[in-house]
Amino acid sequence: MTVWASPRRKARLALLGLPLAFILLHTFNNSYPDYYYPLGSTERGWKRQTEWWADFFSQLEAVRPLNTEPVKIPEGEKPPEYGYRPDVDHARPELVQGMTAADQSDLAQSHASFVKQLPDFARRLPFDRDTAGIVTTAGANNFGQVVTMMVMVRQSGSKLPVQIVLDSTDPWIEELCANQLRRLGATCIRLDEIWSALRKSKSVPATIERYQWKVMALLASTFQDVLFLDADCLAVVNPDPILRQGSEPFASTGLITWPDFWSSTSSARFYAIAGDVAVPPLSARASSESGVMVLDKARHADTLLLAAYYNYYGPAYYYPLLTQHGPGEGDKETFLHAAMVLETLSKQKEEKDGTTQASTGDSRPIATAKQTRGYWDVKTLPGVRGRSLDHGEWEYMMMQQMDPMEDYRAQQWAARIDDQTDRDDDDDDDDDDNTDTDTETETETKPPTTLDRNKFLATKINTTTVVLPKPTRYMFFHHNGLKLDFAWLNDPDYGQYLVKTDRAGNHTRLWADNKPGLPAWDVPQAEGARDVEKEMWGNVTELWCETGFVETCRRLRKVYDEVYLLKSSA
């Protein structure tokens, strides 16, 4: 039944504790002004971060908006849920009401004050240089999801260490952290221990809300290069190559984000507050999905800290400004917008100072070997997966996110086709007699705009990725529909939702229609097809059966035997 090494097999698992052979060594030939470039950082472990956290919260409080009421969206109103399409431009929704010019000016002043202190503050962000790992956050209500996530990380073949930042804990969680998860290469970080002294002086907010924990986890992690996964985001293909030296697009940018299904719903007021940033058309990019991201703290310390500012003041101001109660409102838009804003402010400063020629390229540039800082917003839209049952209903299970390296190759390929097409068109124009009017000629020879380029690349990728040398593949399953938290398996309500039965009372698969003749659902791999669902269920069963959760173990084994081993329950 076991696909990855059992926690009891110490000889194999000892490898998880070894230093990683591919820890990254980056050379930062900065292509951005030093004003936004963190020159270095202090190497401190997470237990010694108390002083930094005190400074962090102090800096945030120092720029608190003074007289501005929370951003208001009329009760019950939401923006239209447009599925993102690069060839369709809807009108940007504007639902913010009651914000006066003074309110907007107050927020803009706060934002500018925080950005002004970023160059110095970013240099002091603590992390251990030349380290890489996976980071997640969870608590007592959803820790079972982390168990599933850890199983999938190791099942995928990843050997990256994992840090789990806890927002709350419980004795059974402490037991798992000390034993099963530790043997799988995971460390549990308790920020309350780091913040205990600060809480006495009220230097830490009394409450950190749900969506604010992600950025806190990223800041608390000691890794330089971070793959962040939500607790319900599962790696089905080994993600380690993303962080390997020279791997694109991470090597050239230091930040990778993934899209959601929807068009952006951010308010135009946000862009004015952020520094008169040009408001992009809705066709320029999809909204973000922050359940998975990759970030290099050395190159993007300022990006991370600006995202922290957006999250710290998120519930009152930036969550509604960036999403306007659209799908998934919370931290999702804060990270990419932080990168976009800093890039734009950097270009504005260049133009003002005359230090370099202003860039007019794509805001999501195709990375080259000379670029060392930027951001890669994955262009391939997520897939969707659900299950149909005998009862006739269809249940949404998860969104499937693309391998960013394949996405990068697809965009490079599409860009080469675009360039070749442009050259061919130019050659054809040279051979033709110029009988057009001056106006027509000017229109035909005008270079494509950034928006045109984005439309072309997205359209090409969505129709031609399959011709790449390797098959297009999803790397992550973000299980945000059905949460795979088997700690709740025996809960009378959630347990029935987690494990479904057909009309005959037989247990059904999670990821496949449970109908005769349909093959087991798999994930394309270079080495051939795998029944990833069967692997996951077997490995999850083995881990929970080690913990002493007797009833959970019993039920997991029953489902595994009936569904995946096709054993009769009689």
- Residues 44-70 have a mean pLDDT of 85
What pLDDT shows up at residue 529?
A: 66
- Read off the pLDDT band of 47 (50, 70, 90): low
Torsion of CA 412, 414, 420, 421, to 10 degrees: -160
- In degrees, rounded to 5, the angle at the alpha carbon of residue 81 between the alpha carbons of residues 79 and 84 is 125
Q: Is the pLDDT of residue 154 over 50?
A: yes
CA distance linking residue 228 with residue 231, whole number of Å: 9
H-only helix segments in 324-401: 334-353
What pLDDT shows up at residue 388?
A: 74
Which residues does 400 contact at the CB level (< 8 Å), separation at least 6? Answer: 382, 383, 384, 385, 474, 476, 477, 478
pLDDT, tens digit (0-9, with 9 covering 90-100), for 320-358: 999 999 999 999 999 999 999 999 999 998 888 876 533
**Contact status, residue 240 vs residue 487, Cβ threshold 8 Å:** no
Which residues does 81 contact at the CB level (< 8 Å), separation at least 6? Answer: 262, 326, 327
- In degrees, rounded to 5, the angle at the alpha carbon of residue 304 between the alpha carbons of residues 302 and 307 is 110
pLDDT, tens digit (0-9, with 9 covering 90-100), for 275-316: 999 999 999 999 999 999 999 999 999 999 999 999 999 999
What pLDDT shows up at residue 463?
A: 40
Backbone angles phi, psi at 528, to 5 degrees: 120, 175
CA distance linking residue 476 with residue 290, whole number of Å: 12
CA distance linking residue 63 with residue 53, whole number of Å: 16
What pLDDT shows up at residue 201?
A: 82
- Of residues 532 and 179, more confidence is placed in 179
Question: How many Cβ atoms from other residues are within 10 Å of residue 181's Cβ?
Answer: 22
DSSP helix/strand/coil, 13? helix
What pLDDT shows up at residue 130?
A: 94
- Read off the pLDDT band of 192 (50, 70, 90): confident
Q: Is the pLDDT of residue 462 over 50?
A: no
Domains of the chain plus CATH, in order, are 10-39+52-68+101-354 (3.90.550)
**CA atoms 348, 353, 359, 363: torsion sign:** negative
- Of residues 27 and 461, more confidence is placed in 461
Question: How many Cβ atoms from other residues are within 10 Å of residue 37's Cβ?
Answer: 20
Long-range contacts of 346-351 (CB under 8 A, 24+ apart): 346/32, 346/33, 346/35, 346/36, 348/275, 349/33, 349/35, 350/33
Average pLDDT of the chain, as a whole number: 80
